[in-house]
Structure 1
Amino acid sequence: MINFNGSLFSEDKEVLTHANRGLKYGDALFETLRCVNGTLFFWEDHYFRLMASMRMLRMEIPMEFTLEFLEEEIKKNIRENNLENRAARVRLTVFRKEGGLYLPESNDVSYIIETSLLDSPFYIIGENEYEVELFKDYYVNKDLLSTLKTTNTILNVVASVYAKENRYANCLLVNTDKQVVEAINGNLFLVKGNTIKTPPLGDGCLNGIIRKKLMEIIETTEEFQMVEESISPFELQKADELFITNSIVGIQPISKYRKKDFSNTVAKKLVGKLNAKARMAS
């Protein structure tokens, strides 16, 4: 079942039309998050990021779009799909209502909520091989729009096709200054000694929720120093570890980039802290 503007429909029901602005113009935002046993991980952070993003895109925020309202709409879908005692992936998409060309007829919005089953209730570190490569056909722009989670993700789509064609697990994206910004589906962290680095938002990376939470965790440790700083492609093979973060996987270690194999020692140390923070925030 999916939740479209508060009404539940079966997944095979066609609820969107050819005039949908998300389809026609990428005029939409989305949040993807974990729900475990009916509890939404880092829900407040996702909610406030969505509200800030809607304001930036000049979407009209409905009066009923409170933290509590959207949480209940998500949980309604969770219950309807019998996932209240399971681990679930949630996607909340908000799009401007139909009408207009580039200029919309209205700034009012609709929303759709989708849920699906996840294998594990916890963030876990897999031991599978995970090789990446740089994707340099197209570049991420260094602007605020690049930091938003919009449905205008054609660069990520093309990079995903490139990765599959060349048998890579993922690709790292670079910006117009040729700095490494992020992965196709998450933020990038680089470990060198006791320093952990991630690109700043000014480089055009996604303003990720797990990025934010992991930075908070690292900053409270005495073992590591957290640095927001641009990452050059030349630094990648000199790193001790590389890993990707997002709200579904948590932390995904990179095992290989070109001729360099990486460990996952730091990633393993951090994933337990991330799970603890998720439980505390829920």
Structure 2
Amino acid sequence: MTLDLLFLNGEALNQSNLEDQVIDFQDRAFHYGDGVFETLRIHCGEIPNWKFHQQRLLQAQAQLKLPIDNFLEYWPTFVKKHLSEIESGCAKLIISRGVSPRGYQIPGSTTINWWLKVSDLPEQSLSFKQTNKQLTVCQHQLSRQPAFAGLKHLNRLDQVMARSEWDNKEYFDDGIMCNLDGDVIECTMSNIFWLESNQVYTPDLNLEGVDGCVRRWLINHLSATSKPLRVIKSVKLQRLLSADAVFITNSLIGIQSVDNIAGHQISLSSTVKELADEFNQQYLF
């Protein structure tokens, strides 16, 4: 059975009549990208890693002054009512500041609009089974804005331009993105990590990039070990090419090894598989 559900502010929309259902022209998400989104995996009627999604939404509430308290309070009820029977799938949650008069100024009071699109998992995400990934290196550089760093805000033009650098005939799973200084930050759809002497490293995201939920899980998970994850402020591509292993993460693929970066073979490590197994076991995959 194909999953194809759409909700607006918690209410199911009629999929057979979507052409008559339009976004309000004055919605600030449409005008200014004024909002955030989350990509969610659904498993046995629940959202794995939800606490880290909520953590990032609360960060958005603080940094962007988004009024999402009522949404967060209602969310568990919504999941139980509408998602509890879904065995496996994914969803995109979009939260807009809502409708306001013309102009950039944040209105004194506003009601958010939120959409949830539920669909089948992409083919590459049907399981968290290890399938080594191949990466390209994007020429487009990430914009720098510390005020928005870590968030999944609605302006994704950097990722759009970076992803346009390769087509579907070229078999790359993702593309590495660097900042204005040429430092590796992330991939277009995932966070990136590397191993040196069994120590896990990842780029610093205080100036740009998305602080992914599996990344947050890894930092939390490794904090109690003898080798907590180390965040590096400046890392050039060559360091990844010579690393003991490289891997990427996001909420749909979990933790996946990388075996090729722009034609360079990358070593594999059992440590990555162990981390992936620990993540999968915690969320019952």
TM-score interval for Structure 1 and Structure 2 normalised by the shorter chain = 0.7 to 0.9
Shift in Å, 1:48: 2.7
* Equivalences for residues 150-169 of structure 1 within 5 A: 150-164=153-167, 167=170, 168-169=172-173
Contact 1:197–1:228 at 8 Å: present in 2 too? yes
Contact 1:86–1:117 at 8 Å: present in 2 too? no
Cα deviation digits, residues 15-60 of structure 1 (max 9, x gap) = 4233332122111111122221112212222123212202211222
Is 2:193 the partner of 1:189?
Answer: yes
Shift in Å, 1:104: 4.0
Shift in Å, 1:169: 2.7
Shift in Å, 1:142: 5.1
Distance 2:67 2:228 in 1: 40
Contact 2:144–2:179 at 8 Å: present in 1 too? yes
The worse-fitting range, judged by mean Cα deviation, of 233-242 and 17-26 is 17-26
Distance 1:85 1:152 in 2: 30
Distance 1:97 1:203 in 2: 27
Distance 2:268 2:77 in 1: 38
- Give the TM-score normalised by the residue count of structure 1: 0.86
Distance 1:51 1:209 in 2: 13
Is 2:181 the partner of 1:180?
Answer: no
Is 2:257 the partner of 1:250?
Answer: no
**Residue identity matched to 1:276:** Q
Structure 1: 5+ residue stretches without partners: none
Instruction: From 66, 70, 76, give the equivalent of 2:75.
Output: 70
Is 2:29 the partner of 1:37?
Answer: no
Distance 1:159 1:257 in 2: 16
Instruction: From 51, 55, 60, give the equivalent of 1:48.
Output: 55
Count of equivalent residues = 271
**Residue identity matched to 2:105:** L
Distance 1:134 1:264 in 2: 19
Instruction: From 228, 232, 236, give the equivalent of 1:229.
Output: 232
Contact 1:29–1:150 at 8 Å: present in 2 too? yes
- Give the TM-score normalised by the residue count of structure 2: 0.85
**Residue identity matched to 1:45:** F
Shift in Å, 1:279: 4.2
Distance 1:124 1:165 in 2: 22
Is 2:104 the partner of 1:102?
Answer: yes
**Residue identity matched to 1:50:** L
Distance 1:235 1:9 in 2: 49
Is 2:68 the partner of 1:61?
Answer: yes
Is 2:149 the partner of 1:143?
Answer: no
Cα deviation digits, residues 72-123 of structure 1 (max 9, x gap) = 22343325xxxx2411212221101122222244543111111112367752
Contact 1:142–1:203 at 8 Å: present in 2 too? yes
Distance 2:200 2:282 in 1: 19
Aligned Cα RMSD in Å? 2.4
The worse-fitting range, judged by mean Cα deviation, of 186-195 and 198-207 is 198-207
SS in 1 for 2:93: strand
* Equivalences for residues 180-219 of structure 1 within 5 A: 180-219=184-223
Contact 2:96–2:112 at 8 Å: present in 1 too? yes
Distance 1:102 1:165 in 2: 38
Contact 1:209–1:246 at 8 Å: present in 2 too? yes
